[in-house]
Amino acid sequence: MKLMKITYLLFIALSLAAVTPVYAAEAPVTKTETAKEVRAEQIESRLIEIRNLAKTNLTAHEKKELRKEVKSLKKEGNHGIYLSIGAIIIIIILLLILLL
């Protein structure tokens, strides 16, 4: 009986995995997405500018301010949730344990 349940759950999981790409469609680009892309490019160009800056001529206070700016830009640029393969496997195992 338990083998039948596991087989049934695996069949459902594989079926859902096969059907999911069919419903995936590219969403239309909105103004907020283009504004985010523009801001991301601004952040990237500023970080490159800071990296190429001659830091030997700067005072300690100016260097500290640059470090703070780099940290804030990196925080602003990192958005979203990223799941590793290990996290996905753990989630699937937990779901199987809870459902059985």
43 pLDDT tier (thresholds 50, 70, 90): confident
pLDDT, tens digit, for every residue of 52-71? 888 888 899 999 999 999 88
pTM, entire model: 0.46
Of 6, 4, 3, which is closest to residue 93 (Cα–Cα)? 6
